[in-house]
Amino acid sequence: MKRKAPETNFELMRNLAEAFDATPPEGATEAAEELRAWGLVPAGVGKQLAAAAREALKVSPMDWRVRAAQERARALSLLGAVQPVLKPRSELEAEIQAVLARGSEQAQREIRAYFHKHQGRASDDDLASLLAQVRFLESADGEERE
């Protein structure tokens, strides 16, 4: 009884497993006949398996590229939630000093580098942007510690 050709990767894998679990073939000819009986084209099985593996890898959390894309999307959504808010300069400076006092190492490095670069010439917009950035860094530090 000949089966229909598999339409999904799941069906392909299931048919292959069932075909070779039954009775192992004794040669290439018998293997090809058994594959055909299960609805598989012997010449295309390797290509189908390779394509199925590539598709599985594209969504697998075991692939560093997938994890990196997920981490990037998460960071961008967090960054989008922290927007610069214009306040009086004294409030911005006080909040930046509070971040420095809390001890977020990455935020402290960012603040020091920023003030070194601007050397007192930062505008209110610059300070609001810096505050939003270090708040984001602080929130990221807190999540890493949990």
Reported as a single tens digit per residue, the pLDDT across 47-84 is 888 888 888 877 777 777 778 888 888 877 776 666 67
Query: 136 — phi, psi (to 5°)?
Result: -60, -45
Q: How many CB atoms lie within 10 A of CB 80?
A: 9
Work out the average pLDDT over 108-125.
Answer: 78
pLDDT of residue 134: 80
pLDDT of residue 146: 44
**Residue 142: which pLDDT band, with cuts at 50, 70 and 90?**
low
**Nearest to 52, CA basis, from 9, 116, 101, 109:** 9
